[in-house]
Structure 1
Amino acid sequence: MKELQIIYKNISELNPYENNPRFNDEAVKYVANSIKEFGFKNPIILDNNNVIICGHTRYKAAKKLKMNTVPCIVCSDLTPEQIKAFRLADNKTAELADWDMDLLNQEFADILDFDMSLFGFMDNIPDVNLDLTNDDKYSTNIQIPQYEITGECPTLEALVDEDKCNSLLGKIEQANIPEEIKAFLRKAATRHYAFNYKNIAEYYAHAPAEIQELMEESALVIIDYNNAIRNGYVQLSEDLKSLVESEEENA
């Protein structure tokens, strides 16, 4: 097998494939966020004429970030037909993979310093499984997570990581800026509280009814689908939201 060589090319040298059948505009911002956070770790694959085989989304993300050069791999060993097949296969095979939701949520529980919604995930919350057994594809039936005691009750400190927020607050206080700007930035800094939803679920299971109710209203757990929407826990697309509202009107 031929060894791969990564070379850096000026982004102006790259040519998108004019017949690219993949719609990728919605993914560009998430890929750009990933590149910005972690670096450009996945090279763009080109043919001998610098036409993109794989990596159109990365190319658009790099342009969005105003990058001058990007890492590339030139496939000089493939025939034109192989290139066409590879281009389609690379996109299609990614669609065939699925998530193990239990393992995914375990991974989320260990990621405290990153907002995973920046990369296309919903906020780091326990999984909400759509009930796909109903023949009505527009059904809003869901399986609500069952909050049962599985271990010791976590401490309050274990429910949220405040380190990033506190670090940012310290920088704000030291900044030589007007007080009204500081006040605004203090509020914005609270976005960096990293909630551990696995521990929150355990804490909720141990809590008395009054605390449970307040946690539900704070969108820390999901008990009722409609309440979850009102409390901001479930993020709906505009189309799904319209369908829900239509169902309520026709009920």
Structure 2
Amino acid sequence: MDWPWNGLRTTSSAWPWTGCVLTPTTRARTHGQVAQLVASIQEWGRTTPVLVDEQGMLIAGHARLEAAKQLGIPEIPVMVARGWTEAQIRAYTIADNALPLNAGWDEALPGGPVREDILAKAP
């Protein structure tokens, strides 16, 4: 399926994770954070794709890929960024990692106990 948002194109499919070429990531993560993703995948399955460029270089989803490896999952959902420039890829990588840091929780809404349950499953 193609999604031509803002002129940037992506397509989605499932790939063997061995088809993704790992790139260095500046995002620091702990074993516990990957364990939380493992618990999430065990609970709900693979709901969020990783993002690669047209050569299969991993742009976003390093921790999701690591969690899939730990679970022995042979294929993962993948979105391919088509026609993105190096500058667009760099900007996306920064935004993908930095923007969630600006989010908070609305404690007045339901969901707190669910969040705590998932976080508690990780070692």
Match of 1:12 in 2: 18
Match of 1:36 in 2: 42
Q: Which has the larger radius of gyration?
A: 1
Gap regions ≥5 residues in structure 1: 123-251
Distance 2:120 2:106 in 1: 14
Name the CA shift for 1:32/1:54 in 2 (closer, same or farther; >3 Å).
same
Q: Displacement of 1:120 after TM fit? A: 2.2
Higher relative contact order (CA 8 A, sep 6+): 2
Q: Tell me whether 1:69 sits opposite 2:75 in the alignment.
A: yes
2:26 counterpart (21, 29, 45): 21
Deviation at 1:4, TM superposition (A): 4.2
> Is the 2:68–2:76 contact (alpha carbons within 8 Å) kept by the matching residues of 1?
yes
Picking from 71, 94, 98, the partner of 2:100 is 94
State the secondary structure of the residue aligned to 2:105. coil
Structure 2 residues without counterparts, runs of 5 or longer: none
How do 1:150-229 residues align onto structure 2 when only pairs under 5 Å count? none
Residue identity opposite 1:24 in structure 2:
R
Question: Which deviations, in whole Å up to 9, do the C-alpha atoms of 1:12-63 show, x marking residues without a partner?
Answer: 1112212x10012331111111111101010000011211111011001000
1:30/1:118 contact within 8 Å kept: no
| Bigger fraction of residues in helix | 1
For residues 115-149 of structure 1, what are the alpha-carbon distances to aligned partners after superposition, in whole Å with 9 as ceiling and x for unaligned?
Answer: x4453269xxxxxxxxxxxxxxxxxxxxxxxxxxx
How many residues are matched? 114
1:107 pairs, out of 94, 97, 111, with: 111
Match of residue 47, structure 1, among 28, 36, 53: 53
Q: TM-score, normalised by structure 2?
A: 0.82
Measured after TM superposition, the shift of residue 84 of structure 1 is: 0.9
Name 1:120's counterpart in structure 2: 119
Question: In the superposition, relative to structure 1, how do residues 4 and 81 fare at CA in structure 2: closer, same or farther (>3 Å)?
Answer: closer
What's the TM-score, normalizing by structure 1?
A: 0.42
C-alpha contact 2:10 2:82 (8 A) present in aligned 1: no
2:82 aligned counterpart, secondary structure: coil
Aligned residues: CA RMSD: 2.1
